[in-house]
Amino acid sequence: MPDSVAPPVNLLDFDLDALTAWCATLGEKRFRAVQLFRWVHQKGESDFARMSDLAKSLRDKLASTAEVRPLKILTEQASADGTIKWLFDVGGGDAVEAVFIPEDDRGTLCVSSQAGCAVGCRFCSTGHQGFSRNLSTGEILAQLWFAEHHLRQRLNTPDRVISNVVMMGMGEPLQNYSALVPALRVMLDDHGYGLSRRRVTVSTSGVVPMIERLQHDCPVALAVSLHAPTDALRDPLVPLNRKYPLAELLAACRQYLAAAPRDFITFEYCMLDGVNDSPEQARQLIALVNGQAGAPRVPCKFNLIPFNPFPASGLLRSPRERVLAFAKILQDAGIVTTVRKTRGDDIDAACGQLAGEVQDRTQVHSRLTRPDVRPVIPITAAPPVQP
């Protein structure tokens, strides 16, 4: 019988401290780990033979023990507006997506943290697929590693292309905390991607204990998927609300700001026709964030998101006039409010849509559309056809 051979170590799994510790097991000092880290993340190099300032003996050791493991690309879709979406194979029939959104003054990459999601938000295509598994640190970073270096080649530039990362793709990042934090550290590390803390955003549906931990472990910008002004409405829209209701969530947000790189929380609010988009609900939101409804005041801005309909949701996008009227009520109360531009509509670049076509692992989609399962929110109109 041949000796079993250990699988190669994936260097994308390590932040700089972990890489330093691993290099020490090879008898190498920290400055070698820094060199290696820079080759991988700053130069996008995966061939150890080309890491010219490493000693030949180290390159040989690396070649026999380690690798930079990319994700296999299943599809790439490019929108007319410049948005690019990649669907990556993470094995076992699971796929995750990353979306690059270019703007005049920034390039944003939306990154996935899990294959599927256990939170099950009512309006989210990923939530309807159910949860498959957490991504590793290496799988989270492989999305950024690929996108950054692929885009540099494609745009023929030596300069950084991705200036902002939002952990807003598939999955609830704070339910994959132990893999998330090292990935964030690599994004922020000056020897890695060197992104500003203000330009790395973790988006959460409200995992309160992990918001508190993130504040201490790796404070970055925080976005919270709010979507409702009351617990009665948020419970069915974001089921995690039953565990961490609005008062606790807003208290955690306010506390987070003590260490956050920005002095406000971004509240994401998906505009659902006839569900959460009335003037009265806008006023309830103002009361909520201003601390008039029993919750503490939270400095914030709102990002109103036009819902991207998918048939299983049974929900519709709010008419544009209603979104603008809702925004105006918030703005008139002194709350900075933006309406998200829809990007990549022609490639379904909204969260979870393409991967949803690949797999519905837990059959949540079919369970939600069974005639004997009552929708948690009254459906007043026929589901729309996908744009």
Task: Look up residue 272 and give its two tokens.
Answer: 């659902």
Taking CB under 6 A as the binding criterion, the range among 6-14, 51-59, 63-71, 124-132 that sits at the site for ligand SF4 is: 124-132
76 is catalytic: no
Give the residue from 104, 163, 117 showing the smallest Cα distance to 341: 104
CB of 169 to ligand SF4, least distance (A): 8
Q: 341-360: which residues touch ligand SF4 (CB under 6 A)?
A: 351
Write the binding mask 159 to 178 for ligand SF4: x where contact by CB under 6 A, - elsewhere.
-----------xxx------
CB of 239 to ligand SF4, least distance (A): 9
CB of 211 to ligand SF4, least distance (A): 14
Q: Of 95, 121, 316, 329, which lies in the binding site for ligand SF4, with binding defined by CB under 6 A?
A: 121
**Annotated binding residue 23:** no
97 is catalytic: yes
- Would the CA dihedral through 85, 90, 91, 93 be positive or negative? negative
255 φ/ψ angles, rounded to the nearest 5 degrees: -65, -40
**What dihedral angle (degrees, nearest 10) is formed by the CA atoms of 335, 340, 341, 347?**
180
Q: Of 51, 96, 120, 344, which lies in the binding site for ligand SF4, with binding defined by CB under 6 A?
A: 120
CB of 387 to ligand SF4, least distance (A): 19
Q: 221-250: which residues touch ligand SF4 (CB under 6 A)?
A: 225
- Would the CA dihedral through 324, 122, 167, 88 be positive or negative? negative
Please count the other Cβ atoms lying within 10 Å of the Cβ belonging to residue 72: 11
136 binds ligand SF4 (CB under 6 A): no
CA atoms of 40 and 35, how far apart (whole Å): 9
Three-state SS at 366: helix
**Annotated binding residue 203:** yes
Considering the complex, state which of residue 219 and residue 356 has its C-beta at the smaller distance from ligand SF4. Answer: 356
Sheet containing strand 72-78, edge to edge, reads 72-78, 84-91, 94-103, 106-110, 164-167, 200-204, 221-225, 265-271, 300-306, 336-339
Q: Would you tell me which residues interact with ligand SF4 (CB under 6 A)?
A: 117, 119-121, 124, 126-127, 170-172, 205, 225, 351
- Catalytic positions are 97, 351
* Residue numbering of the annotated binding site for S-adenosyl-L-methionine: 171-172, 203, 225-227, 308
Task: Summarize the annotated binding site as residue ranges.
Answer: 117, 121, 124, 171-172, 203, 225-227, 308
